[in-house]
Amino acid sequence: MLPAADQHLVQIVDAATADAARRSGEWLKCRPGCTQCCIGVFAITQLDAIRLRAGLEELERVDPVRATTVRERAQRSRERLRIGFPGDPATGLLDHSLDFDDFANDEPCPVLDPTTGTCDLYSARPMTCRVFGPPIRSSDGIGVCELCFVGASEAEILDAELHTDWADFEDALNIEAEQTTGKEGSTLVAFALLA
């Protein structure tokens, strides 16, 4: 069900992020074991959801014990998230008209291995995870992780900006994913893995 062009999108995004990381130098503090961005829920697209499920299927083939552990963490997370879920807890679809800012900010991502501090589905991670760290532009301006670029000048931050030239391509693939799944809108990792 994963659109054929998703692998191309992933290559584009990963190359752009690697370039921004190179330009960030020592200002970028992201390393295995740094899990601040893995705590607190965040919206993912249906394209991300399909990629995560495909990654979990691959993990099932190569390491069924670890795949079972991921599913168990996702199930426990989903049960905790049902209370006050800003959307439909039966489908896992978010209602963006509801306040999402203060929801489950302490909930660990279910694919985060709490022992190693690494992602069990790293190669299948959502786009938000792929681009987190380097400075990135949004409608609110340039955003950076609060652990990165501490003390950097505005020029140093802008020199490392991640350019998201792939956004239209990603949007088209997400529309294709929504048509394939019959689900429109965002969800959360725990719901995506158990769909």
Angle at Cα 129 formed by Cα 33 and Cα 167, nearest 5°? Answer: 160
- pLDDT, tens digit, for every residue of 155-186? 999 999 999 999 999 999 999 999 999 999 99
Task: Please identify every stretch of the chain with a pLDDT value under 50, giving residue numbers as ranges.
Answer: none
| pLDDT tens digits along 133-150 | 999 998 888 999 999 999
Q: What pLDDT was estimated at residue 140?
A: 85
Q: CA of 28: how far to CAs of 14, 46, 58, 161, in Å?
A: 16, 29, 30, 12
Q: Helix (H, G, I), strand (E, B), or coil: what is residue 44?
A: strand
pLDDT of residue 101: 86
What pLDDT, on the 0 to 100 scale, is given for residue 99?
83
Task: Specify the pLDDT at position 63.
Answer: 98
Q: Which residues pair with 119 in a beta bridge?
A: 112
Cβ pair 28, 152 in contact under 8 A: no
